[in-house]
Structure 1
């Protein structure tokens, strides 16, 4: 009885501090922006209490194992060596990335949904821009680490292209820019992983788990709390996407999404990115042999 009372108090407290969402039975799956109490306030509170410390601790733990000062990855990320100048193609890519991101910002400004710039795909576009324009002589670890983390999270872009959520893309050019942005953040890493200007760490279990828990931490508490405060369904923290199999899982849909994210980290980096990287190196070696 005392436990039930405490849980009810936790739910009531979180609900009082959150946006005034409609009840779960009023969930509108035609709307991708707003949410409802699809997940009960009590469950939201429990997830914040238990998942946030877990994600925080595991991010620190696997981060230290993956690229702590005692690791070879740390040495590679901080290595000092001449960095070739950016090619014309790379500069064109930067312009395209900045242009697409600028259009996204304009659309979000007009629709008063700037908070949706926190969506992982928009954050990924900004991350890649930062990586490509970063002055490598200053703190090279930052852009190198960001890029190598992104190699594990590329699956989000692939899924966004397979299951595009265009429910609230009504403005002129918004759908075109959606596909342009997602194609860029899919293709650009393929270009960067084979570019001698950038350092690529070999795939590792520790790095995969660090990337997963960092991604999970960005989801909760960051996006989770912003969603509860604003009423926006940022990265489906409040209501699942309009996909039947996820909706049918009910309030536990996020656990399915976390599990899928964990598994996706591995095939993205080990299967897609590593095989592509090896293929590029093979073609380069073959071209050098032919030139002799």
Structure 2
């Protein structure tokens, strides 16, 4: 504690050691009390954490504000109608090409037996066991039939719409991946027509067995779709894509866990309903990986083409 005399020189008053002093422009030290007649600190009021009110961080000139950044994200969303048109054209082309796949039943069945033989060698042949499990448990088979017929479209479209609306910055990349994956699948259908298990003796078509609706059953509605477009499994590829997209964006662990379960359920369903083999599912995962590589390469080529540095990035 120090003391200071007032103007008369008679009275001595204590001066707190905590009183701030500041240098004037001439270098002299002045009292920490402002000469404003109110005893307010010369450096002005302070915030709760002790900083002067004038010390708050100021935005750098020319730097984007939070509002501008949010606007940029919103601005990155592709236009809606071209996206809808793209999806419709893509799915139409997928359905058309899929149904143009060669339909040589003898060849497709021969390949099916070869595939089962390979799975037997690798101890992967679980299709028959799962199919019998479904057949003997209608409460499993009937929901599985509807799941197989609808989920791959509803869930995939739902994830695409969710990405478009809630995460527009991530949407173009994921949309390109699934489109490239689907094109890879079409090539696989054309090069490797394959009879599904339900067409082989010993397996049961659960749609016909339980009289439910299905898109790829072996009955009268079979003529509406090519029955030999089984390798790779697009049900598997699209379900993995959905899981990867959701897990890659969300932060909620429960949502991520549900997303991770979706391809697992799809795997069991496509086997139990006798629509695919284990290696079809492996092929679906491989198609997704190849689709991702193609999409990534396409984005890089596009970035190189638009680069202002003569086609060089970085």
Normalising by structure 2, we get a TM-score of 0.30
**Larger fraction in helix:** 1
Q: Given the two structures, how large is their TM-score scaled by the length of structure 1?
A: 0.32
Which structure ranks higher in relative contact order (CA pairs < 8 Å, sequence separation ≥ 6)? 1
